[in-house]
Amino acid sequence: MANNTFGHAFRVTTFGESHGAAVGCVIDGCPPGLTLDHAAVAAFLARRRPGQSHLVTPRNEDDAPEFLSGLDLETGKTLGTPIAVVVRNQDQRSGSYSEWWHTYRPSHADFGYDAKYGIRAWQGGGRSSARETVGRVAAGAIAEQLLLSRFPALRICAWVERVHTIDARALLDPLAVERAQVDAHPTRCPHTASAVAIETAILTAKKQGDSLGGYIRLIVQGLPPGFGEPVFDKLDALLAQAFMSLPACKGVEVGSGFSGADASGLEHNDHYAWQGSTMTTATNRSGGIQGGISNGMPLDLRLVFKPTATVLKPQPSADDAGNNVELQAKGRHDPCVLPRAVPIVEAMTALVLADCWLRQRGQVGDPWPGLAGPLHRDGR
Amino acid sequence: MANNTFGHAFRVTTFGESHGAAVGCVIDGCPPGLTLDHAAVAAFLARRRPGQSHLVTPRNEDDAPEFLSGLDLETGKTLGTPIAVVVRNQDQRSGSYSEWWHTYRPSHADFGYDAKYGIRAWQGGGRSSARETVGRVAAGAIAEQLLLSRFPALRICAWVERVHTIDARALLDPLAVERAQVDAHPTRCPHTASAVAIETAILTAKKQGDSLGGYIRLIVQGLPPGFGEPVFDKLDALLAQAFMSLPACKGVEVGSGFSGADASGLEHNDHYAWQGSTMTTATNRSGGIQGGISNGMPLDLRLVFKPTATVLKPQPSADDAGNNVELQAKGRHDPCVLPRAVPIVEAMTALVLADCWLRQRGQVGDPWPGLAGPLHRDGR
Amino acid sequence: MANNTFGHAFRVTTFGESHGAAVGCVIDGCPPGLTLDHAAVAAFLARRRPGQSHLVTPRNEDDAPEFLSGLDLETGKTLGTPIAVVVRNQDQRSGSYSEWWHTYRPSHADFGYDAKYGIRAWQGGGRSSARETVGRVAAGAIAEQLLLSRFPALRICAWVERVHTIDARALLDPLAVERAQVDAHPTRCPHTASAVAIETAILTAKKQGDSLGGYIRLIVQGLPPGFGEPVFDKLDALLAQAFMSLPACKGVEVGSGFSGADASGLEHNDHYAWQGSTMTTATNRSGGIQGGISNGMPLDLRLVFKPTATVLKPQPSADDAGNNVELQAKGRHDPCVLPRAVPIVEAMTALVLADCWLRQRGQVGDPWPGLAGPLHRDGR
Amino acid sequence: MANNTFGHAFRVTTFGESHGAAVGCVIDGCPPGLTLDHAAVAAFLARRRPGQSHLVTPRNEDDAPEFLSGLDLETGKTLGTPIAVVVRNQDQRSGSYSEWWHTYRPSHADFGYDAKYGIRAWQGGGRSSARETVGRVAAGAIAEQLLLSRFPALRICAWVERVHTIDARALLDPLAVERAQVDAHPTRCPHTASAVAIETAILTAKKQGDSLGGYIRLIVQGLPPGFGEPVFDKLDALLAQAFMSLPACKGVEVGSGFSGADASGLEHNDHYAWQGSTMTTATNRSGGIQGGISNGMPLDLRLVFKPTATVLKPQPSADDAGNNVELQAKGRHDPCVLPRAVPIVEAMTALVLADCWLRQRGQVGDPWPGLAGPLHRDGR
């Protein structure tokens, strides 16, 4: 039982192989009547586009989305029906990969796919390629527009916080970072000096046929309380699934995360305080999520992406005939996936939040108590 | 749209509030003909039972599961129909909580639930309580038995690796740790000296009305390649959702995790090598998962749990009438959730793996290529 | 991949075998804050209870529901969390069935279950027994209360329209039938003379060890337009699944149904006409559903139930060892399932409609255009 | 919460409006390694194509499917990943419909969609158009190939049994009808004299601007026992949903169906008998399904399709501004949908059966008891 669908109420199904004819998605459950800003969708896709800078893969794709359905042809509004988006692959070169059709690339998905399906995804990494995320980003761009139509103060902003050992965490006020500032540098690190150092590190690694990993920080501001479902679909659980489903992501933490163990409960707790009719907490070690439900404070998460598995030096490996061999990789790749991962993380965030909103509206209605300012105390 | 169900093919729906009549689950999709070891299920539940040691909440529950359906009354075998399991709450004392029915406990789910539903879960933390995990553990115990009936070499083993700043990571060979060794000490830390230090730290915190957090390590050995689905249901994504859906879990990492960014790709890659007809990798920085699919190497994950939010000192907080107040918590709680979280983590792991197995068997059949030793090369 | 869950937003999972310990359900997704009328739930269950008259199985069950979760213990309101309902089996006598543990009862599910699972559901018909519907009726009773809290004019009313060849169709005004009138006679046929004839026919069949089938008519009044989803989850498609999933149901038709083929399109079409701000159709051959979406006219469906498969005469059959044998059935059964099927059909209808409502509210909000009287013309 | 997806393990999501850019589907869960017969898919689509005869709509579409993903470009085998299929609309003429953009066509979905979404699906009937079924047929053609790869004796065959009052039921041996015979006449009625009469009736209706409905019969031979799931996903319940989700379908019956009420239980029961190692029943009033599970006998269902709602005479109707008006329809349409519905019914059948197979394989394995000839008696 495969499942290439994400979300329950706002659902996106992606399709397409890296070196097949096209990639894309079908978005099911988008409310009707949303006036889609096509340029904003295209701009979001352009942020993850290969070839956008000297730091990323030179694969040449213009990634222009074609909308096949779900939109009123006259007004451009969503119909409430499935929105199919197709992006043609233009620069697929599966021939480039022919030399290791029988060899498993280290730390790639090749062996796992073969063990699972008994057939190699010849089209170049198949569904494990970052190219699959085109469909996610197109859908996420629409999800973000949907969210903004209801919650205009919402701000989803991710950035490169660290690459290799260059870490800008202590140098930034996370609540002050804006998307334009992030996009201003090809590294997508909004701290200028760090960005320059990261750029140098990536270019050095690239020259050496090597690759680098790092951290992405995500902050969401303006999110009301009440997002997320108890138990299995806690907001942080859905976000963790969303991010860990991205190629190369190997860890997710919320709020204080792994460092939270250094504190005791008395030190760690976030104390509530009303500021007018808005609930706040004095600190935000919870990262905006308590018991799996948003509490109105900023969401604060950190993700780690491993260094790109494709490196251009000979490596020991094994083939599908039982031989241990040496592999010399070729092909285009990102020496560091983090700059292009930023919009993908934002898109996944928008998908999770749009889904949570519609699910909440379905069960409780809209506005729900957490949107109404002073809580309805239900007669007690 | 709530969702209290986990899994696609092996599905568990949990129900019950901490201070309601009962907690439990319905397991849907368990294969027929499995001879259930009731004692093993009860033993698994006993490992998460409150009151099991001086380190955990004194709440007194015997947590004996009642099976209402899905089993042949004569043979005890599973019928293939839903297995309903109920555990009565015996020591609920919702009265204990009456003093803060109108006050939101810091870093608890109270405010989020109120903002979401407009009704307090008076039964003591409602669905966000760790008591909800009774149903998960009962289901996970059955899932583990199911997995062992097909993959007898499978070993799921979690333990407390760190509490506060006491870290046993460097002192243990993770592949040598066994469940019996973990359960031998009430801290569930298998390194004796660390366990003793952790015990002291927890007791000290308890005496001070304080609480501690820490890390749990999970190793799964004997898992064949091919578990997990591409894209959204990658094995690590499902595990991340499973673990982040646990109360107090604030982070998950796989393999090298957050420290993976310190390495370059050339340093980080795991090199394949056939050992006979078994594929191995020289290192396991991938944590047994590549491209979201298990590769036959041990699964290796680490989780962080924050310090328990319930602390027994006065704290600033806010009530549901708009007042900022001081809260003095009472009630029973775990000064450190980690010892009892160990079997819960194992149970969630079993649920994910059982689901992945049945999904794979549905789409590809059984055995699939990754179970057949030398890969069927599909005629190429 | 089993699936014992029905619905997407208002979801009910049933469990339990006819001769196991209990039957019941878990309802997931019920909105919070609904004040549950326990007596009304019990009354609904009493309408499907065995032993309620001389026309039905004498199995003695009081079918008192126990609510294990999901309700505020103090106010009785729904919490928004899963509502688990358990009904203990009191008069199970699986011993009664021991003589044909190896023989397949004609037109029963025995052989199919054995072929599917390789294990007999010894507990008496297992999940194919009408006893499974206890959980559906409990959930349906709650769904109806939920619907009435939002749509107070809604009236779901089913009745026995025909048994064997006694057909009351032409003798009744379907829009005038009320539930009290239906329940006034143990046959649940609201036309008195027909009811008397049906009673006699059932008693005669019972005396002869024979059984009878018939039709149930369903009318839903007061349903606004806009219920149902395009394509696979059309309102009639969901209702058809719901009803065909009932034991012994062998056909469903909507509006003109099978007789609709006798008319041409010019004769068959329902012509629209505004009556004030309400849209009506001059005829209702569509049965209130067009293109899968409710149009505000009464829902009008008809279902056929086959004669009960259990008959108390010797019949040729086959056993599980490859022998063709004669079977003499024993055991308690309904000589005609229709009287007890009436509340089950109403319960399934409520489940479908509650689910459609919450789904619509999730995607479009509430009120949606069809609830707002004059349609919002979206600027055209 | 919209849902344009059908199936659990073999899942198809359709997209596209009748007068938008394209229609199509994404198939998720198809097993890997299936060598797809592209010509057979195209041939299946050609059977539902408009313009195929003088009896159907003259809309001119070549309906050539483009496969965007999921296939190995070299071998044509399925990869196990999503298969996206797109069919461009070539002859959409939404302008044709402009005159009644504000008027609701009688017995069409127009009003329901407007009431639901508050936006007219300007692209000509939107998702309620039969054009949506292109995606279903493409997916069904693949599902049939998948089924035949495992169950080569399977035969899915539907035909036009009746149009208006011309009924070929008594004139045909349903087990002898073959697909080639059905396709031999443009009416898709395999009884020649009836076919000629039906052709005349349709042409007469067409000339008069009128339309006709009728019945489709479906027989599936060679289906092993064990397909279908207990309770909500009974095989007949899934088929009923599948068929009632088709445009214009207003009723479904299985086996004896509505006429089954004429018999008593003693008359109606199907008696089991082993014929060698094959279980048979002397009669097949159950239509091959008992307790929701296939029993190895032929599936036997009947569906009714209402006369096409589009008729070319003036009709009273209403517009979206509250006026009662007269509507003179134009536009292309089928004067009788039944000939083109035949392959659609077969496609939906294949989708249901492929899904049931993979679900059963997932839970029980393959072969399951019902495939193994003599039933494994589980030690009793």
ipTM of this complex prediction, to 2 decimal places: 0.97
Lowest mean pLDDT segment, chosen from A150-159, C114-123, C191-200, D255-264 = C114-123
pLDDT at A378 (0 to 100) = 44
pLDDT at B378: 44
Asked if C163 contacts C169 with a C-beta cutoff of 8 angstroms, the reply is: no
Q: Are the Cβ atoms of D213 and C261 closer than 8 angstroms? A: yes
C296 pLDDT exceeds 50?
yes
Confirm if C334 and C212 have CB atoms less than 8 A apart.
no
Closest CA to B6 of B31, B32, B25: B25
What is the mean pLDDT of the segment spanning B325-347?
91
B-contacting residues in D 330-359 (Cβ below 8 Å): 358-359
DSSP B67-134: E-SSB-TTT-BB-SS-EEEEEE-SS--GGGGGGGTTEEPTTSSHHHHHHHHSS--TTTSGGGSGGGHH
Q: What residues contact residue D352 under an 8 Å CB cut-off, 6+ apart?
A: D7, D235, D238, D239, D242
Mean pLDDT calculated for residue range C178-189:
98
Above 70 in pLDDT, residue A199? yes
Q: D356: part of which helix (H) or strand (E)?
A: helix D338-364
> A361 and C361 in contact by Cβ < 8 A?
yes
Q: Which helix (H) or strand (E) holds C317?
A: strand C314-319
Predicted confidence at residue C380, as pLDDT, reads 39
Question: Which of chain D's residues have a Cβ under 8 Å away from the Cβ of A95?
Answer: none
Asked if A17 has any chain B CB less than 8 Å from its own CB, the reply is no
Whether A250 and B233 lie within 8 Å, measured CB to CB: no
Which amino acid is residue A183, in one-letter code? D
Yes or no, beta carbons of B111 and A225 under 8 Å apart? yes
- Sketch the domain layout of chain A as residue ranges: 5-371
**Residue B314 pLDDT more than 60?**
yes
pLDDT tens digits, D221-278? 999 999 999 999 999 999 999 999 999 999 999 999 999 999 999 999 999 999 998 9
Of B14, B69, B117, the CB nearest to C21: B69
Q: What confidence score (pLDDT) does residue C127 get?
A: 87
Residue B40 CA, chain-centre distance (Å), reads 17
Which residues, other chains included, contact A241 with Cβ-Cβ below 8 Å and sequence gap of 6+?
B232, B237, B238, B240, B241, B244
Whether D92 shows a pLDDT value over 80: the answer reads no
Using alpha carbons only, give the angle B310, B312, B315 rounded to the nearest 5 degrees. Answer: 85
**Nearest residue to C168 (alpha-carbon basis) of C144, C180, C185:** C185
Residues 6+ apart with CB under 8 A from A174: A217, A219, A298, A300
Q: Do C119 and B33 touch (CB under 8 A)?
A: yes
Q: Is the per-residue pLDDT at D62 higher than 90?
A: no
pTM: 0.97
Query: A58: distance to nearest CA of chain B, Å?
Result: 19
Q: Does D32 touch chain C (CB under 8 A)?
A: no
- Determine whether the interchain pair C81/B126 forms a contact, defined as Cβ–Cβ distance below 8 Å: yes
Q: Which of A33-37, A109-113, B306-310, D10-14 has the lowest mean pLDDT?
A: A109-113
The mean predicted confidence, pLDDT, of chain A is 92
Mean per-residue pLDDT for B79-98? 82
Query: Inter-chain contact D360–C116, Cβ cutoff 8 Å?
Result: yes
Q: Are A24 and A9 in contact (CB under 8 A)?
A: no
Q: Are D83 and D73 in contact (CB under 8 A)?
A: no
pLDDT at C145: 98
According to the model, what pLDDT value does residue B275 have?
Answer: 93
Q: Quick check: D288 contacting C, CB < 8 Å?
A: no
For the ranges A40-49, B178-187, C368-377, which has the lowest average pLDDT?
A: C368-377
The confidence band for C376, taking pLDDT boundaries of 50, 70 and 90, is very low
Minimum CA–CA partner of C28 in chain A: A363
pLDDT-wise least confident of A327-331, B119-123, C220-224: B119-123
- Write out chain C residues lying below 8 Å of D374, CB-based: 322
Q: How many Cβ pairs within 8 Å bridge chains B and D? A: 49
Check A323 against B274: CB less than 8 A apart.
yes
Rounded CA gap, C315 and C313, in Å? 6
pLDDT value for C98: 61
Q: Residue D60: pLDDT band by 50, 70, 90 thresholds?
A: confident
Which A positions 248-287 lie with beta carbon below 8 A of chain B?
250-258, 260-274, 277, 279, 281-282, 285-287
| Element at C83 (helix H, strand E) | strand C83-88
Q: Does C330 have pLDDT greater than 90?
A: no
Q: Give the model confidence (pLDDT) of A274-328 as tens digits.
A: 999 899 999 999 999 999 999 999 999 999 999 999 999 999 999 988 999 999 8
Which range among A156-170, B344-358, C326-340 shows the weakest confidence by mean pLDDT?
C326-340
Contacts of B80 in chain D (CB under 8 A): 363-364
Interface of D with B in 57-86 (CB under 8 A): 77, 80-81
Mean pLDDT of chain B: 92
Given a cut of 80, is residue D377 above it in pLDDT? Answer: no
pLDDT category at B99 given cuts 50, 70, 90 is: low
Closest-CA residue of A relative to D34 is: A119
Percentage, residues of chain D above pLDDT 90? 81
Over residues C242-273, the pLDDT tens digits come to 999 999 999 999 999 999 999 999 999 999 99
Determine the residue among A25, A104, A116 to mutate to test chain B binding: the one whose Cβ has the most chain B Cβ atoms within 10 Å. A116
Report whether pLDDT(C278) > 70: yes
Q: Nearest by CB to B318, which of A128, A269, A279?
A: A279
Rg (CA), chain D: 22
d(C-alpha C78, C-alpha C28), whole Å: 11
* C261 Cα to chain D: minimum distance (Å): 5
Distance from the Cα of D351 to chain A's closest Cα (Å) equals 14
Percent of chain D that is helix, strand, coil (3-state, to 5): 35, 20, 45
Ranked by mean pLDDT, the top range of A51-55, A318-322, C36-40 is C36-40
Between C320 and C379, whose confidence is greater? C320
| Subunits close to A (at least 3 CB pairs below 8 A) | B, C, D
Q: Which H or E run includes C218?
A: strand C214-221
Q: Tell me how crowded residue A171 is: count the other CB atoms within 10 A of its CB.
A: 13
Tell me the C-alpha distance between B72 and B32, whole Å. 10
Amino acid at A196: V
Please give the backbone phi and psi of residue A223, each rounded to the nearest 5 degrees, phi first. -90, 125
| Most confident among A108-117, A131-140, C319-328 (mean pLDDT) | A131-140
Name the token pair of A70. Answer: 């779900």
Closest chain C residue to D15, measured at CA: C231
Q: List Cβ neighbours of D176 (8 Å cut-off, separation of 6 or more).
A: none
Query: Which CATH superfamily, name and number, covers D5-371?
Result: Chorismate synthase AroC (3.60.150.10)
Residue A18: pLDDT band with limits 50, 70, 90:
confident
pLDDT at residue B379 in the model: 41
- In this complex, the residue of A1, A4, A86 whose CB is nearest that of residue D358 is A1
Residue D96, pLDDT above cutoff 70:
no
- State the number of CA atoms in the 13 A half-sphere of D362 facing the CB: 34
Residues of C in Cβ contact (< 8 Å) with A366: 361, 365-366
The answer, yes or no, to whether residue D97 has pLDDT greater than 60, is no
CA angle at C109 for the pair C104 and C114, rounded to the nearest 5°: 65
Q: Residue range C138-152: average pLDDT?
A: 98
User: HSE (CB half, 13 Å, CA atoms) of C155?
Assistant: 15
Q: In this prediction, what percent of chain A has a pLDDT beyond 70?
A: 94
- Give chain C's mean pLDDT: 93
**How high is the pLDDT of residue A120?**
75
pLDDT of residue A95: 55
User: What are C145's two structure tokens?
Assistant: 């209360």
| DSSP bridge partners of C253 | C302, D251
Q: What is the DSSP letter of A221?
A: E
pLDDT of D23 above 70: yes
Q: Where are the alpha helices (DSSP H) in D32-109?
A: 38-48
Q: Which residues of A fall within a CB distance of 8 Å from D72?
A: 119, 121-123
> How high is the pLDDT of residue B375?
59
Task: Spell out where A107-258 has E strands.
Answer: 155-163, 166-167, 214-221, 249-254
Query: Which pLDDT score, from 0 to 100, does residue B376 have?
Result: 47
**Confidence label for D380 from pLDDT (cuts 50, 70 and 90):** very low
